[in-house]
Amino acid sequence: MHSTVALFNILKKDSTAPQSRPVPQHIAVIMDGNGRWAKKRALPRTAGHKVGAETFRTIATYCKDIGVKYFTVYAFSTENWKRPAEEVETLMNLFRRYLREAIETMAENNIAVRVLGDLTALPEDIRSLIDECEQTGKQLDNPAIASLCINYGGRDEIKNAMRALARQVQAGELQPDDITEEMISSQLYTADMPDPDLIIRPSGEIRTSNFLLWQSAYAEYYFTDVLWPDFKPEHMDQAIESFNGRQRRFGGV
């Protein structure tokens, strides 16, 4: 991995991406399979995360290039702290490196990088980088949004939203019967974002693992056996093709 490589390289003009199809407004990915990718090569798990981070770079760039406005990835769950210290440290170092790169290259690529999750548990220097990212992103004009979910858990997010609304009820500012779904959405980390249209899980696992629980109510899921470090733009094309072939009825007929 080269630190000199821009975070979001602009794809070459001769990209074979089909250009005329519709694309989902918001795509989210559970970046799974890094450990198995490394194991297959007799490498440490951390090597899988390093390649997985490069894949994030490539796929986030690709999504922006084909017109996806929001791209959100599950990078570290509230449960991932249970992993070996060395693995956690590697992931934190990857976040440091990519956030620094993002701050430098965001304006040139017009992609705002955000971090969603309970940031209070993160090391102070990472929180500063996240703040800087947020500030830099705010100065962009209608950017694509790439969100990293770090120390994120769907239940934890909903619990925090409930607590915030409960506090408003306790203060007499809100009646329980006046609580709406929109109010709950507005307390989530994704408050100013549309719900994901398409959620992709690579690596053959078929579960949601506490990712965007509230927001995924009407999302289309796409599962593939490809491991995240092997995930290429052509796999994104396949996921979008599958999505475009589905009829979304949102509970209607």
* Alpha-carbon gap, residue 171 to 148, rounded angstroms: 33
Residue nearer to ligand FPP on the CB measure, 168 or 230: 230
Give the active site residue among 32, 65, 156, 197.
Answer: 32
Where does this chain bind ligand FPP (CB under 6 A)?
31-36, 49, 52-53, 56, 75, 80, 91, 94-95, 98, 148, 203
Q: Judged by CB, which is closer to ligand FPP: 35, or 233?
A: 35
Label residue 122 left, alpha or beta by phi (over 0 means left) and psi (-120 to 50 means alpha).
Answer: beta
Question: 198 is written with which tokens?
Answer: 């398409």
Residues in the chain: 253
Identify the active-site residue in 9, 65, 80, 118.
80
**Residue with smaller CB distance to ligand FPP, 33 or 143:** 33
Q: Name the residue with the smallest CB distance to ligand FPP.
A: 35
CB closer to ligand FPP out of 66 and 115: 115
Quick one: 69 or 100, whose CB is closer to ligand FPP? 100
Measured from the CB of residue 241, what is the shortest distance to ligand FPP in angstroms? Answer: 24
Give the integer Cα–Cα distance in Å for 156 and 118: 8
Helix axes 85-109, 45-66, angle to 10 degrees: 20
Rounded distance between C-alpha atoms, residue 225 and residue 33, angstroms: 9
List 149's β-bridge partners, or say none.
74, 116
In the complex, minimum distance from the CB of residue 105 to ligand FPP, in angstroms, rounded to a whole number: 13
Smallest gap, in angstroms, from Cβ of residue 32 to ligand FPP? 5
Q: Is position 32 annotated as part of the catalytic site?
A: yes
Minimum CB separation from ligand FPP for residue 201, in Å? 10
Q: Which residues are CB-neighbours of 198 under 8 A, at least 6 positions away?
A: 24, 26, 27, 28, 219, 220, 221, 222, 239, 240, 243
**What are the C-alpha distances in Å from 57 to residues 169, 195, 203, 232?**
43, 22, 18, 11
Q: Is 9 a catalytic residue?
A: no
CB of 52 to ligand FPP, least distance (A): 3
Helices (H) and strands (E) in the chain, counts: 7, 6
Instruction: Report, in Å, the least distance between residue 158 CB and ligand FPP.
Output: 21
Locate 142 and state its tokens.
Answer: 């209608």
Based on CB atoms, which residue is closest to ligand FPP, 56 or 243?
Answer: 56
Distance CA 105, CA 88 (A): 26
List, by residue number, the catalytic residues.
32, 80
